[in-house]
Structure 1
Amino acid sequence: MSRRKTERLLNLVICLLATHRPLSAEQIRQAVPGYDPDNDEAFQRMFERDKNELREIGIPIEVHKDPWEDDPGYRIVRQAYELPEITLEPDEAAVIGLAAQVWQRASLAEAASGALLKLQAGGVRTDLAESPLELRVDTRDPAFPALWEAVRDRRPVTFAYRSAGSESVLTRAVEPWGVVSRRGRWYVVGHDRDRDDVRVFRLSRITGPVTTIGRPGTVTVPEGVDLRSMVGFQELPSERTALIRIRQGSCQGLRHAAQAVRTGTDGWDEAEVAFADPERLAGWIASLGPDAKVIDPPDAREAVIRRLKGALQ
């Protein structure tokens, strides 16, 4: 359905809901944008199609015939259109609240918080302040929103990718099948067009923007494919230790995660932090601003510098 038609149908529904009395076709023609004001035949055909489409999706358009009027009137009775009151059990409300919290940092945060507000406005309690659970989908990887949309729309993409243990960056053309989280890291699984084979790419190693290169619906996901098992079989990097200077009195989260913290001089302490992916560590350290500096290893330090330079640009 085109955007213009969608807007016209939505405007028609709003018009028929807002009126306190039935409106004639001519009144609707003048009030709703999108109808031809000059061609009577074209308007009648379009108006009939619109009414039928709205009725097919369950919107009750009523027809009223006034003996004092030549033309019938149309309206949507609000009581027949609105959904009945939604009642949720405490456990159901808790699940919805947790789901909204999960997407707090993702591209769906606005939609999730909006749904939660609507439930609360309707009297449904979804407050989880007393719950010991605090779920998060950590989607700090810049590539996540674009890849999620590409998977949703079944569209091929290209992106620059840095292979594990290498500083070389190559452009990949991929038909994405899904985005999967494993052990706190995000991966995209799909068909690599250049290699004509299935590949798994870690989002933290994608540098630069993700660009769509095809029309929606052109990617076909094989039936029965198990994305999680494909990611699980990938070789995971060995864990290393980074030496990080942190300003005294700051970075409490980093201090708690550190294997060891030593009191330093000149207002700085030294922390040893375990990590596996330099890019993921860099995203965390860069977010701490001037209160944290990676000293060692060099690849982690360079990753932080790249992040900061990118933010400056």
Structure 2
Amino acid sequence: MHPLERLINLVALLLDARRPLTFEDIRKVLPAYQQEDISSAKRMFERDKDTLREIGVPVETEATDVWDVEQGYRIPKERYYLPELGFSRDEVWALFVAAHAPGEDGEAEQAFLKLSSGTEESLLATVAKGPVAPGLDVSGPHLGVVADALARRRSLRFRYRSASGKVGQRQVDPYALVFRAGNWYVVGLDTSRGDVRSFRLSRVASRVREAGPASSPPEDFDAAAQLEAGPWGLGRPRSTARVAFSPKVAWLATGSTPGARVVRTEPDGWVEVEVPAGESHAFVSWVLSFGQDAEVRAPRTLRDQVTARLEALVGNA
């Protein structure tokens, strides 16, 4: 019998015992100690008992009679099993920051999830992510300071580089941290715009500083929904646009675009579709990905942006 199997059997027996078991009691139940040479079996038991104690298993020795002549052994359940762990909000966030420090990976993330599994849902609802594979780097720039501000409901101020390359000042009341496609995002109220936006932490172009108390998220706030992806970019679409597609790509555009609605099919086969729109840079890039097989019909502002992008591309060619 493998030594590990022998130890596991001994632990199971002593845990289940309602009274202290003598070596003879143990020997009758566990075949590993049923050797002809009782002295050899006793020495093996003593080694196993010492090994269990060395690794933290509380094997207790108790007298089995009033004269204290014979010793028995047991493992108290209350000492063997860990009590239910309870962490305060500050402790949970300290664990989160430690698990996502630079150099940590998916294994540290999994450990954090296990330790915090008994935490009230409202605490962990501020961190939205899917499963993280072991070995994946889950650290991120500014993650510690953002997590700390989120835990203490503090507003943040920083310079941010948008997808178009523009850098501007932002003040954000953080509502949640979201991990998507290898990147961390802080989702919160952009106070200068009065709207909930998402900001990729790797695009923050300055130190992140606190800027006073932050507001609380609305009751219907859904962190994961803020990073839904579509032709509008990330987050929830804030408007609609009408785009016509050639017969070659109409089926693809309508079938693969969330929220797309066919308005009409023209005699030449072109299909006019109403699609969700939002962040203009992402939307223009999406339209241009169809080349000559897509044309923005409305609104005029998006149509003009597509034209301007095309002219810039031609000028740089």
Name the TM tier (shorter chain).
Answer: 0.3 to 0.5
Q: Which has the larger radius of gyration?
A: 2
